[in-house]
């Protein structure tokens, strides 16, 4: 267990009031901003004035007051100097990587990453002469061996999607610091639960679409890091967020700002229910993967890197043995038991269930899927918090007894 308390840190963030003293912040929807004197404009372009220097805003692809409020809240939660919000998790990931790597550079990545990230690393970045070696992130020897003089980044997800393998962030950080390269961590599955920069990561990327927003009604992302890196991303000449332009809409920022205060409550409840579900499934003989179970191969590591009181997250994986059985189980869960919805994504108040190999990880070819421990029958269950827990446990138990245990 770490000593970091992200809620305490979030309390330190400046509380933002709306116009007329509104308890909610205002939405600042202007694309462009009036400067009071003509001489101010060149000063903003020269970086002498800006949102943090005399409160001068210029243009909303650069900085926007409402989006800045969310960025400050996220930086406070992550304990980083700064953060920048983006239009999606994928744009946060791709801009962070492209800011660090140029043609000829190399990345070492966990093989258990979200399918879109895998495709970016495996198929798109090689077109820009940036190559990636995929490794089992739990095997530190393999990680070490994969690093070359051209390596600029080690990339990992805290809880790998969908196999829930854990990245040993402190050990990876020791290696990246030795080599003078950056550790970039996608913490989408585990906000509050793990604080990667506190454990030595350099850059944290998020899909805010998931837990942080928590309502499955928008797409958003963020990069949290030290100030100099965020400034690089927003540089007028070479900043990847500034120039590739995945700008967050201030209305989206406002929605997320309003949902962040109950993120701690939600994470605790997702985790409490996922733990109960995993324990029940294990007890009746279902093959279930959940970092909170002592049977999880990296349970001790989870204990070591997690912050206190948020549990082990809301996601568990069930090995159904075959894709047919996984699909049958989903059918029964959604259409007979009314237990959750067959849908990709996670972090919703309702349970979302998907068969990863044929959906969110389908960009990864079958051979690689098998190597990373993703069997075709692996069901990812992103546990929600609606309905009485006892009833939910009963629904799941009936469904697995019918499909997996009969
Ligand atoms: N990272 C992880 C771990 C994800 O699961 C996803 C999407 O499922 C993403 C990144 C991409 O996020 P977005 O859909 O917001 O672009």
The answer to whether residues 240 and 126 belong to one domain is: yes
Domain assignment present for 107: yes
Q: How many Å apart are CA 78 and CA 84, to the nearest integer?
A: 12
Answer with the residue of higher pLDDT: 368 or 116.
Answer: 116
Question: 207, 248, 352, 363: which to mutate for ligand 1, most atoms within 8 A of CB?
Answer: 207
How many domains is the chain built from? 2
The answer to whether residues 24 and 94 belong to one domain is: yes
The answer to whether residues 283 and 228 belong to one domain is: no
Domain assignment present for 363: yes
CATH number of the domain at 154, please. Answer: 3.40.640.10
Q: What is the mean pLDDT of residues 57-79?
A: 96
What's the domain range around 27? 6-261
Grade residue 347 by pLDDT with cuts at 50, 70 and 90.
Answer: very high
Residue 257's pLDDT is what? 97
Final residue of a structural domain among 209, 230, 261: 261
Q: How far is the CA of 180 from the centre of ligand 1 (A)?
A: 28
Encoded tokens for 106 = 């190399």
Alpha helices in 36-168 (DSSP H): 40-45, 65-78, 89-100, 115-119, 140-146
Which of 44-48, 95-99, 328-332, 390-394 has the weakest average pLDDT?
A: 44-48
pLDDT digit string, tens, across residues 255-287:
999 999 999 999 999 999 999 999 999 999 999
Grade residue 132 by pLDDT with cuts at 50, 70 and 90.
Answer: very high
The answer to whether residues 332 and 347 belong to one domain is: yes
Answer with the residue of higher pLDDT: 83 or 54.
Answer: 83
Residue 370's pLDDT is what? 82
- For 100, phi and psi rounded to 5 degrees? -90, -40
The answer to whether residues 57 and 24 belong to one domain is: yes
Output the average pLDDT for the chain.
Answer: 95
Question: For the sheet containing 203-207, what is the strand order?
Answer: 82-86, 221-225, 203-207, 182-186, 151-157, 106-110, 131-135
Task: Please identify, by atom number, the ligand 1 atom nearest to the C-alpha of residue 92.
Answer: 16
Q: How far is the CA of 206 from the centre of ligand 1 (A)?
A: 8
Q: How many Å apart are CA 281 and CA 3, to the nearest integer?
A: 32
Q: Determine contact, residues 99/229, Cβ cutoff 8 Å.
A: yes
Question: 85, 137, 161: which to mutate for ligand 1, most atoms within 8 A of CB?
Answer: 161
Residue 76's pLDDT is what? 97
The answer to whether residues 213 and 90 belong to one domain is: yes
Grade residue 384 by pLDDT with cuts at 50, 70 and 90.
Answer: very high
Final residue of a structural domain among 226, 261, 296: 261
The answer to whether residues 154 and 239 belong to one domain is: yes
The answer to whether residues 247 and 283 belong to one domain is: no
Q: Please tell me if the CB atom of residue 160 comes closer than 6 angstroms to any atom of ligand 1.
A: no
For residue 355, list its beta bridge partners.
Answer: 379
Q: Enumerate residues 6+ apart whose C-beta is below 8 A from 19.
A: 26
Domain assignment present for 66: yes
Residue 375's pLDDT is what? 86
Residue 52's pLDDT is what? 87
Final residue of a structural domain among 199, 226, 261: 261
pLDDT for residue 368 is more than 90: no
The answer to whether residues 201 and 288 belong to one domain is: no
Answer with the residue of higher pLDDT: 13 or 165.
Answer: 165
pLDDT digit string, tens, across residues 14-61:
788 999 999 999 999 999 999 989 999 999 998 899 998 888 999 999
pLDDT over 90 percentage in the chain: 88
Q: How far is the CA of 307 from the centre of ligand 1 (A)?
A: 23
pLDDT digit string, tens, across residues 207-221:
999 999 999 999 999
The answer to whether residues 245 and 331 belong to one domain is: no
Decide: helix, strand or coil at residue 109.
strand
Pairing of strands 82-86, 182-186: unpaired
pLDDT over 70 percentage in the chain: 100
Domain assignment present for 1: no
The answer to whether residues 118 and 54 belong to one domain is: yes
Q: Please tell me if the CB atom of residue 155 comes closer than 6 angstroms to any atom of ligand 1.
A: no
Decide: helix, strand or coil at residue 303.
helix
CA count, 13 A, side-chain hemisphere, 363: 16
pLDDT for residue 244 is more than 80: yes
* 61 membership: H or E segment, kind and range: none
Residue 55's pLDDT is what? 86
Alpha helices in 206-294 (DSSP H): 227-233, 240-244, 250-259, 263-283
Cα-based distances in Å from 165 to 258, 292, 300: 32, 12, 12
CATH number of the domain at 324, please. Answer: 3.90.1150.10
Domain assignment present for 59: yes
The answer to whether residues 96 and 190 belong to one domain is: yes
Domain assignment present for 307: yes
Q: How far is the CA of 79 from the centre of ligand 1 (A)?
A: 22
Nearest-CA residue for atom 5 of ligand 1: 114
Q: How far is the CA of 398 from the centre of ligand 1 (A)?
A: 31
Q: Please tell me if the CB atom of residue 186 comes closer than 6 angstroms to any atom of ligand 1.
A: yes
Question: 188, 216, 218: which to mutate for ligand 1, most atoms within 8 A of CB?
Answer: 188
* pTM (predicted TM-score): 0.97
For residue 141, list its beta bridge partners.
Answer: none
Residue 16's pLDDT is what? 86
Q: Please tell me if the CB atom of residue 385 comes closer than 6 angstroms to any atom of ligand 1.
A: no
Residue 365's pLDDT is what? 85
Residue in the structure block whose two tokens are 């009833």: 391
């Amino acid at each position: 267990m770490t000593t970091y308390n992200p809620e305490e840190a979030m309390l330190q963030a400046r509380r933002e009031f709306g116009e007329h003293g509104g308890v909610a912040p205002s939405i600042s929807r202007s694309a462009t901003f009036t400067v009071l004197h003509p001489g101010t404009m060149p000063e903003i372009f020269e970086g002498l004035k800006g949102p943090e220097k005399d409160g001068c805003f210029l243009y909303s692809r650069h900085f926007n007051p409402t989006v800045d409020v969310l960025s400050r809240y996220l930086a406070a939660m992550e304990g980083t100097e700064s953060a920048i919000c983006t239009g999606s998790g994928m744009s946060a990931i791709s801009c962070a990587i492209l800011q660090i790597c140029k043609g000829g550079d190399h990345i070492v990545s966990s093989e258990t990453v979200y399918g879109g990230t895998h495709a970016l690393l495996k198929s798109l970045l090689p077109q820009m002469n940036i190559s990636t070696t995929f490794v089992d992130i739990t095997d530190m020897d393999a990680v070490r061996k994969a690093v070359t003089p051209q390596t600029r980044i080690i990339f990992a997800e805290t809880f790998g999607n969908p196999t829930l393998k854990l990245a040993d962030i402190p050990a990876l950080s020791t290696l990246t610091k030795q080599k003078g390269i950056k550790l970039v961590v996608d913490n989408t599955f585990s906000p509050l639960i793990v604080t990667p920069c506190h454990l030595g990561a350099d850059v944290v990327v998020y899909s805010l679409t998931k837990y942080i927003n928590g309502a499955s009604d928008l797409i958003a992302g963020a990069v949290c890091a030290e100030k100099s890196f965020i400034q690089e991303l927003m540089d007028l000449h070479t900043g990847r967020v500034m120039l590739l332009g995945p700008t967050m809409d201030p209305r989206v920022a406002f929605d997320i700002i309003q949902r962040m205060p109950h993120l701690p409550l939600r994470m605790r409840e997702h985790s409490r229910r996922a733990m109960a579900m995993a324990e029940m499934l294990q007890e009746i003989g279902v093959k279930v993967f959940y970092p909170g179970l002592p049977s999880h191969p990296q349970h001790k590591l989870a204990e070591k890197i997690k912050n206190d009181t948020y549990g082990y997250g809301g996601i568990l994986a069930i090995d159904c043995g075959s894709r047919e059985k996984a699909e049958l189980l989903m059918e029964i869960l959604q259409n007979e038991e009314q237990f959750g919805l067959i849908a990709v994504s996670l972090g919703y108040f309702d349970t979302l269930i998907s068969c990863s190999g044929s959906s969110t990880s389908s960009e990864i070819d079958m051979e690689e899927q098998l190597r990373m421990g993703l069997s075709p029958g692996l069901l990812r269950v992103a546990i929600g918090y609606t309905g009485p827990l006892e009833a939910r446990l009963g629904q799941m138990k009936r469904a697995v007894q019918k499909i997996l245990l009969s």
